[in-house]
Amino acid sequence: MTQPPTSSVATLSQDDLKTLVGQAALRYVVPGDIVGVGTGSTVNKFIDALAGMKDQIKGAVSSSLASTERLQALGIQVFDSNDVAELSVYIDGADEIDHQGYMVKGGGAALTREKIVAAQSRQFVCIADESKLVQTLGRFPLPVEVIPMAAQRIMRQFEAMGAQARLRLKDGAPLVTDNGQHIVDVTGLQITDPLAFETQVSQWPGVVTVGVFAHQKAQVCLLGTATGVKTLTF
């Protein structure tokens, strides 16, 4: 006997939720504009969906070499951020987002370019599955992009705050970002004042970018949940 189609979203996987929010983000894309595009597995779903309306947009500004490759493979033109004064919207994922729209980002090591594109965008729309929503930032290891010669000193500064810091490795060697720098991942933090924390750590010599996005927070979060996509506004 043929089974009736199931309509319950409760059975959706995390991957399905990422697809849903990636598709839902299309309604924030302004026809005729250049769209800011983030990095990561959730954004990959958005890029795939964006390909369906590529003839309605001018193109994209991308936050990583990986996203650039994916956009170009789908026939979407990628512009240099220097050639675009302002973007109407930036769509990106997050490793954590709190109830004020403050985020931790950089799990994919693209935080510096993500912050640059976010800063040139009028609106940041975060797309995430519900596992990313937290009360207080800090559970996910905080990525910090650093100039390699400053890495040990920066790790000691975090340890003096009571945290633990490690250099991110890839294939046994320090991971090298798109910008030729290294990543330090910091655990044991409770970031209760994201704005002050971002301001403070950004001033340490050798820090390129701290993965707290408070000054460039989200205005909207499309959250994939067991009951569908919820829209949070901040």
Shortest separation between residue 18's beta carbon and ligand 5RP, angstroms: 7
Round to whole Å and give the CA distance between 84 and 220: 23
Pick the closer one to ligand 5RP by CB: 15 or 193. Answer: 15
211 near 143, Cβ under 8 Å?
yes
Residue 94 touching ligand 5RP (CB under 6 A): yes
Number of residues that bind ligand 5RP (CB under 6 A): 17
x/- track of binding to ligand 5RP for residues 110-139 (CB under 6 A):
xx--x-------------------------
With 0-12 / 13-18 / 19 or more C-beta atoms within 10 angstroms meaning exposed / middle / buried, residue 9 is middle
Tokens 């009736």 label which residue? 4
Residue 111: both structure tokens together = 């935080």
Q: How far is the CB of 36 from ligand 5RP (least distance, A)?
A: 13
**What are the residues whose beta carbons fall under 8 Å from the beta carbon of 226, sequence distance 6 or more?**
9, 10, 12, 130
CA 222 – CA 230 distance, rounded (Å): 6
How crowded is residue 122: how many other Cβ atoms within 10 Å of its Cβ?
Answer: 12
Of 69, 86, 96, 114, catalytic: 114
Catalytic site includes residue 114: yes
Residue range at the interface with ligand 5RP (CB under 6 A); choices 6-14, 104-112, 154-162, 170-178: 104-112
Nearer to ligand 5RP, 152 or 225 (CB): 225
- Residues 23-42 interacting with ligand 5RP (rule: CB under 6 A): 38-42
Minimum separation from the CB atom of position 22 to ligand 5RP (A): 9
Please tell me the distance from the alpha carbon of residue 77 to that of residue 72, in angstroms, as a whole number.
6
Among 34, 84, 105, 157, binds ligand 5RP (CB under 6 A): 105
Q: How far apart are CA 47 and CA 149, in angstroms?
A: 36
Token output for 23 = 């598709």
Provide the pairing of β-strand 169-170 with 173-174. Answer: antiparallel
Which residue in 22, 107, 138, 206 binds ligand 5RP (CB under 6 A)?
107
Active site residues: 114
* Contacting residues toward ligand 5RP, per CB under 6 A: 38-42, 92-95, 105-111, 114
